[in-house]
Amino acid sequence: MRILISGAAGFLGSHLCDRLLKEGHSVIGMDNFITGNPENLAHLANNQNFSFIRHDVANFIFVPGKVDAVMHFASPASPNPASPYGYTNLPIQTMKAGALGTHNTLGVARANDARYLLASTSEIYGDPLEHPQKETYWGHADPIGVRSVYDEAKRFAEAMTMAYHRAHGLNTHIVRIFNTYGPRMRLDDGRVVPNFIQQALRGEPLTIFGDGSQTRSFCYVSDLIEGIYRLLLSEEHSPVNIGNPQETSILEFARMINRIIQNPADVVFRPAKRLGDDPQRRQPDITRAKTILKWEPKFSLEEGIRATIPYFRQKLELD
């Protein structure tokens, strides 16, 4: 297939480019580099099956030639206000990527009668009252809070995608992505994985906001990409959770990283800094992915962290 990927220079988008090229597809990457990193695609410069268009998906998209699939991954994704790449610092761009970007990429898919896959998020569940979260759960999110620029953009994107499926018969797919980590995450992303790994590599105590009892479910990037690829090739049109159901407290996670890196500095606790309805628990129900896609994660959390650390070590040495 010839596949257009928006947000191709991002953490997930670049790994997706690699996987699709490995499978023999031709890839057109698209990014405006607001949060994407050109270095993530540098290794593809001489790949004859890869081309790149610098473009903002909030504007009309024209791609010459036939396109067989469109995958919309363009959006700021970090909730951390301390990061310049966080969506609270890019609120209008985030809303445009989710609303106008979805509309424009769906237009490309419709014009080409192509498959379409939307990268949605577990954030549409908000601070969930159901645990673990099934795809049938409607969520518990503040529509006007500081996190709403991301949450509501993705909720709108899902609604728009389903509207194109129902009104135009477009072959659409929606993946709800849970916390994912791995090489190519930004060091200044502000999220817990890059923060903890960098602090441990520097021999500093790992900073935990609150008592560390809040939980996350971390999925290694190659597992996530495998699930997304299977979803693209499937005939499933309803949203599908892709993530690792192994729930880990932030305190357990911090001490595991310290043990792997052999950082003796332990942890330090700071007052909780909760951003809006920042979820205290997050865990996917992946029954649908197991049943329909025959998918489940293969990497344990420790295996994934061990595979991620060398990337951060190299980036810190370069800096």
Instruction: Answer for the pair 35, 77: CB distance below 8 angstroms, yes or no.
Output: yes
* Residue whose structure tokens are 């237009």: 107
40 φ/ψ sector (left φ>0, alpha ψ -120 to 50, else beta): alpha
Collect all residues with Cβ–Cβ distance below 8 Å to 96 and sequence separation of at least 6.
58
- Neighbour-count burial of 264, counting CB atoms closer than 10 A to its CB (0-12 exposed, 13-18 middle, 19+ buried): exposed
Catalytic residue among 116, 125, 150, 164: 150
Place of tokens 């810190």: 316
235-262 as b/e: b if 16+ CB within 10 A: ebeebbbbbbbebbbbbebbbebbeebe
Cα of first residue to Cα of last residue in the chain, in angstroms, is 39
Query: Element (H or E) spanning 98, and its range?
Result: helix 91-98
Residue from 10, 7, 21, 120 nearest 61 by CA: 7
Alpha-carbon span 175 to 152, nearest angstrom: 16
Q: CA dist 168 to 68, 111, 160, 163, Å? A: 16, 11, 12, 8
Catalytic-residue membership of 137? no
Which residues are part of the catalytic machinery? 150
